Structure 1
Amino acid sequence: MAETASQHTLDEVFTEVTQLRDLFARRLMDDKTKNAALEKLAQSNTLLIRSAEDERILAFVKELILLCDRIYNRTQSDAFTDSVLEELLEILARRGIEQIEQLEQFDPRIHSCLSVVPASEAHPVNTITQVIRQGYRRGDKVIRPAEVVVAR
């Protein structure tokens, strides 16, 4: 009878250990799931913060670009304003903002056509005849397209 009681107790201990092992395994899986969710949330939060910072910086960059436009459009040239323009363009360049290179052919991805003029021998169809406002980009992203006059 003592053997049966011990066997009974041993069975209870085995059952309890099995239940604890199952509980431990479930908790580990829950912890893995929670950690993965927290990691994903942290990554999303980081991306959201960067995106918000980029939007604030982009708004400021657009204001600096307008200042560059004012300097480009001045009627008189002087060394001081030329040096200020150079410095503004350098500040933008250090942050990855560059003027869009002037192409001969109109490209709707980087140009905005403000006006058209008749094509001629000097300016064949779809060539840029005049740049009204300089365009700017950051890497492949156009911040502001160059505003141009195109021959048609």
Structure 2
Amino acid sequence: MSEHTDAPGQSREQDGVAPSESEVSRQLAQLTDLFTRRLKDDRDKRALIEDLKDRLRTAENGAVLDQIAPFVTGTIRVVDRLDAHIIERAHREDPGGPTDPNLEFLRSVRLELLDLLAQHQVEQIDVQVLFDPRVHEVVEMRGDHRDGRDIRILALVRRGFHHPSRLLRPAQVVTEEVAAPERRSPDRAPW
């Protein structure tokens, strides 16, 4: 073999001959492609890992809730009974008279039970917002019924509760339809 012929597997660089510009460009393109693919694979793997972590967290939350569900539903029913009793006693109370110490005690117990539920990530559903059919149940609707109008919550009939893993009970509400607020174009200032 001559000194200038390449043996199989031997590059021109090993012979001391510089590779051509096209060879360098081709190798650079291959390396760039490899680098890009590996970066994409890493991003995809990270996204998959995050998705799996979220699913695991949700499953764990659901499993915990399944274990404490009897406690949670029983506590919610006790809160319902306390709410009804507090409302009944408050209506009988003289507005100008002294506050009934038993009524204050019932309110205190109710707050403690709600705090206990919150410690287990069981929260009340917010009713100080526009109606959301995913978490609110309409038991009475007042006013006109026209399409394209927002629904506002007027009153809470029964508290609703949710856990990060699921809705436990929708909030039962009285609603009314209201004119939707004027939609502003994004290029206009809000004032």
**TM-score interval, normalised by the smaller of the two chains:** 0.5 to 0.7
- Asked if residue 68 in structure 1 is aligned to residue 85 in structure 2, the reply is no
Instruction: Give the Cα separation in 2 of the matches to 1:102 and 1:51.
Output: 24
1:141 deviates by: 2.1
Match of 1:108 in 2: 133
- Asked if residue 58 in structure 1 is aligned to residue 69 in structure 2, the reply is yes
> Any unmatched runs of 5+ in structure 2?
1-58, 91-102, 178-191
Q: 1:32-76 CA deviation, whole Å, 9 max, x = no partner?
A: xxxxxxxxxxxxxxxx99866532412320111011011111111
User: Given residue 100 of structure 1, which amino acid in structure 2 is its aligned partner?
Assistant: I
Coordinate RMSD, CA, aligned: 2.8
| Structure 1 residues 102 and 140: CA distance shift in structure 2, 3 A | farther
- Asked if residue 97 in structure 1 is aligned to residue 122 in structure 2, the reply is yes
- Report the 3-state secondary structure (helix = DSSP H, G, I; strand = E; otherwise coil) of the residue aligned with 1:151: strand
> Any unmatched runs of 5+ in structure 1?
1-47
- Report the 3-state secondary structure (helix = DSSP H, G, I; strand = E; otherwise coil) of the residue aligned with 1:96: coil
- Asked if residue 86 in structure 1 is aligned to residue 114 in structure 2, the reply is no
Instruction: Give the Cα separation in 1 of the matches to 2:154 and 2:108.
Output: 28
Between Structure 1 and Structure 2, how many residues are aligned?
103
User: Which has the higher mean CA deviation after the structures are superposed, 72-81 or 82-91?
Assistant: 72-81
Match of 2:159 in 1: 134
Match of 1:144 in 2: 169
User: Given residue 89 of structure 2, which amino acid in structure 1 is its aligned partner?
Assistant: Q
Greater helix content? 1
